[in-house]
Structures are given as structure tokens and as C-alpha cells.
Amino acid sequence: MNEDLKQKNKKTVRGLLALVFLMTLFALALIPLYDILCEITGINGKSKQSSTALHYEIDTERTITVEFITSVAAGTRLTFKAENYELKVHPGEVINMTYTVTNNTNQRITAKANPSVTPGTSVAYVKNTHCFCFDTQVFEAGETKHLTVQLMVNPQLPEHYKRLTFGLTFFDTTNKIRG
């Protein structure tokens, strides 16, 4: 090969490596940006607001059913359940739910719960004001914890919504934290 072709190939390889590096940085930056976007917009039930900042008038004329569903991701060895499967509430009321989580292993587990609200179009009306899902949880071997969630449903929720589902899924993050 002639010297010019070698130089062009080296330049192309360096450019491609730089491109791969920049794409990797961009992909890593999307993770916190997505969380920030979800918190600001309330997409996927990830809104975090203080209940004292919300001043809803309770709509005693309406009653909606809020279901509480729980799940654990594959390989997450936790038992996870809500105190009640569903509650009948008036829009504007503060809703408190307690969950029981048990580590079914003989070792420490670090896990994070991911909230969601369905139907998805109702997410803008459900404010998650306090949730253990905002932080990573640590469960010692065999430990059982009672964790709470506080929600509020905006009375401006359109009339056709009679039933909402608040779901939480735990994901084992132990290996991600260890490295």
C-alpha cells in the first residue's frame, strides 16, 4: 500500500473511534435526561411533587377506583405486595398505600422500584407526592420492610376515567451498584 492510503485509513479509523466514543457518551447522558424529563412532565408516573404544593378541592361527587399492582423483574428475589388491591377515592383526596417487601435471599439486595400509571393518558392527573420508588432501597438478608406511597388524583381528571392503576415494579440493582 502506498503511504497516502495508509494515512487516509488511519484518519478514517480515528474518526470512527471518535464517533463511537461520542455516541457512547450521548447514550449514557440520555439516562439522567430521561429521568429529568419524566419528573418534569409526569410521563410514566414519574412525577415527584410535594403534597403541600398541591391544593386540590376534593370532588365528593365522584368516586374513582385506584388499583395497586406490584411486580418484580425476572431475577429479583423479593416478595412485593400492596396492603390493599384497590381503593375507592374521591379525586383530590390524599391516597396513602403501604407495601410489604421481603428479601427472600440470604444476602443483601439493592433494588429500585419503577412506578407507572395506566391508562397512560391519565398520568398527568396522578401526582406521586411521596414514594419509596424515588430512591434505591437496600434490603438486608431476609429483611421485611413496610414502605409507603402517597398519591393525589387531580379533580380535573376527565369524567370518563373511573379506574386507574398505579403499578410498581422492583428491579434488582445489586450488581449495577457493585460495578
The confidence band for 44, taking pLDDT boundaries of 50, 70 and 90, is: low
**Core vs surface per residue 140-163: b (16+ CB within 10 A) or e:** eeeeeeebebebbbebebeeebee
- Find cell 391544593 and name the residue: 55
The confidence band for 38, taking pLDDT boundaries of 50, 70 and 90, is: low
Reply yes or no on whether the pLDDT at 23 is more than 90. Answer: no
Average confidence score pLDDT of the chain? 85
* 161-171 per-position pLDDT tens digit: 999 999 999 99
Give, as one character, the DSSP assignment of residue 175: H
Reply yes or no on whether the pLDDT at 12 is more than 70. Answer: yes
Give the span between the Cα atoms of 105 and 115, in whole angstroms. Answer: 24
The domain segmentation of the chain, as residue ranges, is 1-41, 47-178
* 96-123 per-position pLDDT tens digit: 999 999 999 999 999 999 999 999 888 8
Tell me which fold the domain 47-178 belongs to.
Answer: Ctag/Cox11 (Pfam 04442) (2.60.370)
Look up the pTM and report it.
Answer: 0.69
The confidence band for 7, taking pLDDT boundaries of 50, 70 and 90, is: confident
Provide the CB-side half-sphere exposure for 80 (13 A, CA). Answer: 25
- Among 95, 103, 81, smallest CA distance to 147 is for 81
